Amino acid sequence: MPPPVGDPQHGLPPVARAILDAAQKIIVDRGFNALTLTAIAAESGENKAMVSYYFGNKAGLVAAMLEAIIHDECLAIAAQVEGTTGEERLHRLLQGICAMTLTPGFYRGFFDILPHAMRDPALRERLIALYEWYIAVELGWLGVPDDAEPERHRRLRGLAQLIAAAIDGLGVQARIDREQFDVAQAYEVLELLLRNSWREFAPGSR
Amino acid sequence: MPPPVGDPQHGLPPVARAILDAAQKIIVDRGFNALTLTAIAAESGENKAMVSYYFGNKAGLVAAMLEAIIHDECLAIAAQVEGTTGEERLHRLLQGICAMTLTPGFYRGFFDILPHAMRDPALRERLIALYEWYIAVELGWLGVPDDAEPERHRRLRGLAQLIAAAIDGLGVQARIDREQFDVAQAYEVLELLLRNSWREFAPGSR
DNA sequence: GTCTATATTGGGATAGAC
DNA sequence: GTCTATCCCAATATAGAC
């Protein structure tokens, strides 16, 4: 299941890379408002005009940033899914995601770009593709054959979407209250819920 | 369990109300960027300068908007929790929240304000209070006595946070893909998961 | 490809008339 | 309390030198 983007940073000229990296840092540290051409120039050491030169305009830069976030997130999640089997798999997956949630700067400004991306038709397409891919990965991971009966497939899709929602929502709460929020506890509960209902969702498939 | 805000619209002068309403509409329809003093004046029919007069400055207006969102959301959720008992309660709560998720303009721009609120110390405090209240309501609703053993309390807290996360996350996905996303299916799965693990979380309490 | 200088726009805020 | 007029600033974008 290939990610819905190639690496947008591959084959990018060094200056464009530097601009992209600087933009990521600014948006993670200070949010969307702080993402100005002047700030990018200062952070990257490159010239203001280079943004337009390489990305057309600011919107083009934001689109490139979203692609990079999607690419990175897909790789990180896919990495959790590999190399384990059976019982251990669920535990490892959730532990991995929990650890990512705690990583400062993970999501790389995703929540900052999200409201803008929701309103831009092209960016919204990319978001839809991201979640589609993510659901498909989870379905594969849950051991769902492509030819499962429609009704079962629908329910498993719901499960995958619910898990994705929990991950995002816990990411939000963790960012709102970094000091207090107990991410690990919430993931333990999620694991428990999934374990207890496992047989109901994957009858005969494990 | 009183909400963490009084009604910020009570006792507000009519002009201030109009400005607040206009601002809500703008942010829901067009996002944070579109929330300019000029746009607010046009939408409300009031004068630009009235924003500063009533709210001090734009940041003051945004703070008032967040209070209003929190107030409305708390009321809406609390309304779901009342008037039912036992088995029916879980179903009614989730159905109610599912219906709210589908309501266009629910959250009233919450996801647009969120990234800004996360970075503003005062607004972040309000967000923390919102989630605290929400968790407390859920804990009460799950029938958790205040004097429960710490370990059990901790686990139930995790459960409540997880449910809150799922609600937010499903709200995001529903907004990203309004046409396709099957919110109801996801809530059915959530209900199933909770039902299957119910006894484990509320032993002897129902 | 890079950079400077500048054009242009639109934002938030406020002084002061009414 | 309301509104006009205006100030100041910051932002994007680009023309054109190098």
Give residue-wise pLDDT tens across range A85-108: 767 888 989 999 999 999 988 888
Residue A84: inside a domain: yes
Question: In which band, very low, low, confident or very high, does the pLDDT at B204 lie, cut at 50, 70 and 90?
Answer: low
**Residue A178 pLDDT > 50:** yes
Q: What is the mean pLDDT of chain B?
A: 92
Question: In which band, very low, low, confident or very high, does the pLDDT at B206 lie, cut at 50, 70 and 90?
Answer: very low
Residue A24: inside a domain: no
| Lowest-pLDDT choice from A200-204, B82-86, B178-182 | A200-204
**Residue A48 pLDDT > 90:** yes
Question: In which band, very low, low, confident or very high, does the pLDDT at A204 lie, cut at 50, 70 and 90?
Answer: low
| Lowest-pLDDT choice from A54-58, A68-72, B147-151, B186-190 | B147-151
Q: Averaged over A28-41, what is the pLDDT?
A: 98
Cα A83 to Cα A10, A89, B114, B193: the distances in Å are 26, 9, 37, 27
Q: Cα–Cα distance between B123 and B117 in angstroms, integer?
A: 5
B155 contacts on A by Cβ (under 8 Å): 185, 188-189
Dihedral over Cα of B175, B181, B187, B190: its sign: negative
Total domains in the fold of chain A? 1
Q: Averaged over A30-56, what is the pLDDT?
A: 98
Q: pLDDT for A150-168, tens place per residue?
A: 999 999 999 999 999 999 9
Give the containing element (helix H, strand E) for B3: none
The two three-digit tokens of residue A54, written as one number:
């390489």
Residue B55: inside a domain: no
- Closest to A158 (Cβ–Cβ): which among B165, B168, B185? B185
Cβ <8 Å between A196 and B192: no
Residue A36: inside a domain: no
Q: pLDDT for B87-112, tens place per residue?
A: 788 898 999 999 999 998 888 899 99
**Residue B35 pLDDT > 50:** yes
Q: Is B32 an 8 Å CB contact of chain A?
A: yes
B167 contacts on A by Cβ (under 8 Å): 165, 169
Q: What is the domain extent for residue B156?
A: 66-201
Nucleotide nearest to B59 (CA to C1'): C12
Instruction: Specify the pTM.
Output: 0.96
Q: Is A87 exposed, middle or buried (0-12, 13-18, 19+ CB in 10 A)?
A: exposed
The two three-digit tokens of residue A111, written as one number:
């929540």
Q: Could you report how far apart the first and last alpha carbons of chain A are, in Å?
A: 21
What is the pLDDT, as a whole number, of residue A67?
96
Residue A54: inside a domain: no
Q: Is A7 an 8 Å CB contact of chain B?
A: no
Residue A136: inside a domain: yes
**Residue B203 pLDDT > 80:** no
Q: pLDDT for B16-26, tens place per residue?
A: 999 999 999 99
Residue B31: inside a domain: no
**Residue A177 pLDDT > 80:** yes
CATH at residue A175: 1.10.357.10
What is the pLDDT, as a whole number, of residue B77?
85
Residue B36: inside a domain: no
Chosen from A118, A183, A195 to mutate, greatest number of chain B CBs within 10 A: A118
Q: What is the mean pLDDT of chain A?
A: 92
Q: How far is the CA of B45 from the C1' of C17 (A)?
A: 21
Chosen from B26, B58, B138, B173 to mutate, greatest number of chain A CBs within 10 A: B173
Cα A34 to Cα A22, A23, A132, B116: the distances in Å are 12, 10, 31, 11
| Lowest-pLDDT choice from A116-130, A138-152, B52-66 | A138-152
Q: Which of residues 32-91 of A touch strand D (CB under 7 A)?
A: 35-39, 48-49, 51-52, 57-59
Q: Is A128 an 8 Å CB contact of chain B?
A: yes
Cβ <8 Å between B115 and A115: yes
Q: Cα–Cα distance between B89 and B82 in angstroms, integer?
A: 9
